[in-house]
Structure 1
Amino acid sequence: MPDDPHAILDAGLATLGLDPALAAPLRRYLDLLARWNRTYNLTAIRYPGEMVTLHLLDSLSMHAHVDGVSRLADLGTGAGLPGIPLAIARPGLEVTLVESNGKKARFLREAVRSLGLANARVAESRAEAVDLPGAFDAITARAVATLADILAAGGHLLAPGGRLLAMKGVRPDAEVAALPVGWEVRAIHPLAVPGLGAERHLVVVGRGAPGGA
């Protein structure tokens, strides 16, 4: 049935080319989020089918673009999106979930513990205060700020050659034009989220060549 969140998740994983065995841990994460959400209001999205599409499948739509990434920092991760779904789907990926809100950080620690995510850790901090310069191959953020703001807060975390993987809705051409000096767009990938008609894009930003414009 189209309104069955389990069926939506199974169909979405198949469309994204992901292992159907991922459905079980993803459901456990979603169940935990729904339970905590009743008390702590972690997300405004409450209908299970919408949570599957707008949280899980939206996050996983970028999974192919973390190939070659060993260490990822998810800035302003909130309830763990996209970091926790990516950590579930990519056990070889080390994910640091950066979140300054105390109640959300508590949820994240419980999610990491209860799901047994050995490849995820929580940093209860603002991104700009994380003292791990150059520690990550990639940073990501999911529609939480402009590209310039994300780089101002977390650009110091990127290793040489590292890149920002910014999840956006419509193609953010104005934000691209306002990138700070020293950064350049490497690619803009349209993302197809199963069951979602709205536009999604992944903007890949890296440091510009020395001496470049």
Structure 2
Amino acid sequence: MAEAPELTGAELDAAQKVFGDRLPLAQRYVEHLATSGIERGLIGPREVPRLWARHVLNCAVVQEHIAQDASVADVGSGAGLPGLCLAIARPDLQLTLIEPLERRVIWLTEVVEDLGLDNVTILRSRAEQAVGEVDADYVTARAVSALVGLLDITMPILRGTGQLLALKGRSAAEEITKAQKKLNKYGARDTEIILAGEDLLEEPTTVVRVTL
């Protein structure tokens, strides 16, 4: 069984700033990812050494673009990236993790119970079927779909107001270009590429923010 990677150096500094006194919860979450998360196929074994940098911190820094006391729907939550990272970093937020696969829902439920996170609701559903069931100021998504397809399963959840925060890579600008017709269709007022964790991470997180 894999062991959770140790936090040292710049990663430790970043984690302390992002999670504060809830860092032990984040460490416990990483332990779950490195053990049962791999056993059940939610994370690939090669990802263990970079769980903090590439996954948990990469997701958690997005919290700097989310307002106080907001409600957030995390679409295709999978291993809780970014949903659980945000819930740990920001106890003021109300998170709904939307995930269709039962084995992932079971794992997420176990982790939430073990960490005692009272600001998380888990909904077993496809995103398009969750419309009307979830009230969200923000929708987050990571590694779910290219933006052009992602809009169809996230915009309806916002019901005409709020923001999509889609964690993306280097193809972000190209994805926005390809999705322009859909963005117009859904009445996007503003679409921009923003960075999260610029002063914390060696490689900041690229986010496509769509504002309705």
Please give the range of the TM-score, normalised by the shorter of the 2 chains: 0.7 to 0.9
Quick one: distance in 2 between partners of 1:29 and 1:162? 29
Q: Give the whole-Å Cα distance in 1 for the aligned partners of 2:120 and 2:141.
A: 16
How far apart in 1 are the matches of 2:134 and 2:31? 35
Match of 1:113? 113
d(CA) in 1 for partners of 2:96 and 2:126?
A: 13
Q: What is the distance in 2 between the residues matched to 1:134 and 1:51?
A: 29
Task: Specify the alignment match of 2:194 in structure 1.
Answer: 189
RMSD: 2.3
Amino acid at match of 1:13: A
Name the structure 2 match of 1:81.
81
Aligned to 2:13: 11
Residue deviations 1:99-158 (CA, integer Å, cap 9, x gap): 111111111011111111110011111111114267110101013212221220121110
1:19, 1:108 → 2: CA distance?
A: 20
Report the counterpart of residue 33 of structure 2 in structure 1.
Answer: 33
Shift in Å at residue 161 of structure 1?
2.4
Q: Secondary structure at the match of 1:77?
A: coil
Superposition deviation, residue 32 in structure 1: 1.5
Q: Distance in 2 between matches of 1:200 and 1:45?
A: 22
**1:35 to partner: Cα distance:** 1.9
1:210 matched to which residue of 2? none
**1:181-206 CA deviation, whole Å, 9 max, x = no partner?**
22243432123475554x63111112
How far did 1:44 drift?
1.4
1:65 aligns with 2:65: yes
| SS in structure 2 of the partner of residue 20 of structure 1 | helix
Identical aligned residues as a percent: 30
Q: Deviations 1:64-88 (Å, cap 9, x if unpaired)?
A: 0012461100001110000001001
- Structure 2 counterpart of 1:211: none
Q: Does 1:135 align with 2:135?
A: yes
Rounded to whole Å, the distance in 2 between the matches of 1:47 and 1:146 is: 22
CA contact (8 A) 1:143 1:169 kept: no
Deviates more, 1:36-45 or 1:53-62: 36-45
Q: 2:207 aligns with which of 188, 194, 202?
A: 202
* TM-score (normalised: structure 2): 0.84
Q: Tell me the matched-pair count.
A: 202
Indicate conservation of the 8 Å contact 2:72/2:94, yes or no.
yes
CA contact (8 A) 1:34 1:46 kept: no
Query: Gaps spanning 5+ residues in structure 2: where?
Result: none
1:69 and 1:137 in contact (8 A); partners too? no
TM value normalised by structure 1: 0.84
How has the CA–CA distance of structure 1 residues 118 and 13 changed in structure 2, closer, same or farther, with 3 Å as cutoff? same
